[in-house]
Amino acid sequence: MSKSPAAIVKQQFGDKAKLVAALGPFTDDDLWVKRVNETKGLSRVSNAKLLKLYNVLSAVKEKFGNRLKLIDAICEIEKRAKDEGYKNRLQAYAIPRLYDLYRSVARRAGMTVEPLVKPAPRGAAKPAAAGEAPKSKPSSAKKASAKAPAGKAAKKQAAKKQVKKGASKGKAAMPKRRSR
């Protein structure tokens, strides 16, 4: 079973306060849009959101350096480098939204984009130990599950053909009523 966000924070940073402190260098004007409630701060944000924010900000800082270079990269990929109105609109976006936009635009353009480092989802199987051989499932189960959708598709096509011929799903067509 995978670890909870609180356990990941405890393992990587020690406690939540240290994670918030690690986010401190990223909160300058180069990367950060001032949208945080100053009275509450980041200490009231959930651990999962803080971890995602840390991963995104560190990836953007490493790859682009600041948000303006990220915006320029998005505009270059979309071939809208001279569109100042579009750039101004993108400047209002937060970094996670910009990075998500960059990743989707780059994928559409055929570029390869590295995924963010994410913890394994809950309920995922643990990797096998070094000394153990990986367990293999019977191949017949895979074949049976692969054939099931094809059977449904064949049935749907046969039903459509019958509807086109005038019968609806194997039943004879109803005769028309005469008007009196």
Q: Shortest CA distance to 120 belongs to which of 8, 6, 13, 23?
A: 8
Dig out the tokens for 92 from the structure: 């209002």
The model's pLDDT over 104-150, given as tens digits with 9 standing for 90+, comes to 999 998 888 777 765 444 444 455 445 555 555 555 455 544 455 55
Dig out the tokens for 95 from the structure: 């970094």
Per the model's pLDDT, the better-predicted residue between 20 and 29 turns out to be: 20
The model's pLDDT over 41-68, given as tens digits with 9 standing for 90+, comes to 777 888 898 898 889 888 888 898 888 9
Residue 12's H or E segment, with its range, is helix 5-12
Distance CA 40, CA 151 (A): 57
Confidence at residue 119, expressed as pLDDT on a 0 to 100 scale: 46
Q: Is the pLDDT of residue 33 over 60?
A: yes
Task: Answer whether 116's CB lies under 8 Å from 59's CB.
Answer: yes
pTM, to two decimals: 0.58
